[in-house]
Amino acid sequence: MMEFLNFYLVPGVVLGCIYALGAIGISLTFGILRFSNFAHGDTMTLGVYITLSLVQVSGLHPLAVAPVAMLLTTGLVLGMDLAFFKPFRKSPTIMLVIASFGLMLMIRSMIQFFWGVQLHALRIGIEKMAFFGPFAILPRHIMIVGAAVVLMMAVHLMLTRTKIGKAMRATSDNPELAALTGIDTELVIRATWAMGASLAVAAGVFLGLDTHVETMMGFKLLLPMFAAAILGGIGRPYGAVAGGLVIGIVEELSSYPWIGETPLLSPGYKAGVAFAIMVAMLIWKPQGLFRGRQF
């Protein structure tokens, strides 16, 4: 029982928090800019490498410099929006998707060019598990889940208490009506990029703290993040959080020895779990759990 909790459920929740933060950006971008942003994963990688450099320069803890990396990444993403997406605002969706695909490759190549392709670490040394009776948890897992909860609450407050946050929800709900209502859609778009990029950087830093830093890390998260966004209902930020948690937990639990002594599913197939959930949702419930927009 404790093995299940300590080695499957807790890591599942940690992974779920990371997916959830990343999926919020994907979901909002789809709801407001109406395209699947393939560059989201590499935006995350970019933020992690900026964090890595800030850590190396300042010697501070990654979480202490992460806010600076979030701001810098937001600035870069707003520049990318001007250069790559704004010219296509009124174009068919496929053009934006392809633009994001190209941007994805460009960001990754730039990262590999400037930082190299070798593995890096955001933290050094081995962490001991903290024990609470039979319950054991890695201190970094407490930190990641705690910080993720704080960020999700901040997102919730922004979306429900501020004028721009409500305008973001309104635009995601019905972009045409938002324009007719006089909502400043360009401002909403900038706020969406800022929120999406910041949360992606946070998610990437959490992943970097939990594992390591490499140039493909964001790309590898793209599929589960999309799966989470679709599971929760595209354009529904709360759905994205729920979807992220579900996918993270299900991925980890899929390799628990439910039947007999061996893992139900070899850990090598973890990524397939997110894919299977995504395909199943698209076939049987394309509007997602929270009734988002259909593809």
Query: CA triplet 101, 105, 111: central angle to 5 degrees?
Result: 140
Of 141 and 236, the one with the shorter C-beta distance to other proteins is 236
Asked whether position 260 contacts other proteins by CB under 8 A, the answer is no
Query: What is the rounded distance in angstroms from the CA atom of residue 72 to the CA atom of residue 53?
Result: 12
CB of residue 234 to other proteins, shortest distance in Å: 13
Of 79 and 87, the one with the shorter C-beta distance to other proteins is 87
Asked whether position 157 contacts other proteins by CB under 8 A, the answer is no
CB of residue 179 to other proteins, shortest distance in Å: 5
CB of residue 196 to other proteins, shortest distance in Å: 19
Asked whether position 259 contacts other proteins by CB under 8 A, the answer is no
- Within 234-253, the residues that bind other proteins by CB under 8 A are 236
CB of residue 277 to other proteins, shortest distance in Å: 23
CB of residue 248 to other proteins, shortest distance in Å: 25
Which of 60, 179, 279, 280 touches other proteins by CB under 8 A?
A: 179
Options 21-29, 80-88, 163-171, 248-256: segment touching other proteins (CB under 8 A)? 163-171
Asked whether position 156 contacts other proteins by CB under 8 A, the answer is no
Which of 169, 209, 230, 278 touches other proteins by CB under 8 A?
A: 169
Asked whether position 177 contacts other proteins by CB under 8 A, the answer is yes
**Phi, psi dihedral angles at 67 (to 5 degrees):** -60, -35
Q: Which DSSP string do the residues of the chain spell out, in sequence order?
A: -HHHIIIIIHHHHHHHHHHHHHHHHHHHHHHHH-S--TTHHHHHHHHHHHHHHHHHHH---HHHHHHHHHHHHHHHHHHHIIIIIGGGTTS-HHHHHHHHHHHHHHHHHHHHHHH-SS-B-SS-SPPPPEEETTEEE-HHHHHHHHHHHHHHHHHHHHHHHSHHHHHHHHHHH-HHHHHHHT--HHHHHHHHHHHHHHHHHHHHHHHHHHS-B-TTHHHHHHHHHHHHHHHH-TT-HHHHHHHHHHHHHHHHHTTS--SSSS-SS-GGGHHHHHHHHHHHHHHH-TTTTTT----
Of 183 and 207, the one with the shorter C-beta distance to other proteins is 183
Of 242 and 274, the one with the shorter C-beta distance to other proteins is 242
CB of residue 236 to other proteins, shortest distance in Å: 8
Asked whether position 183 contacts other proteins by CB under 8 A, the answer is yes
Cα 225 from chain centroid (whole Å):
6
Asked whether position 5 contacts other proteins by CB under 8 A, the answer is no
Binding site for other proteins (CB under 8 A): 163, 166-167, 169-170, 173-174, 176-185, 236
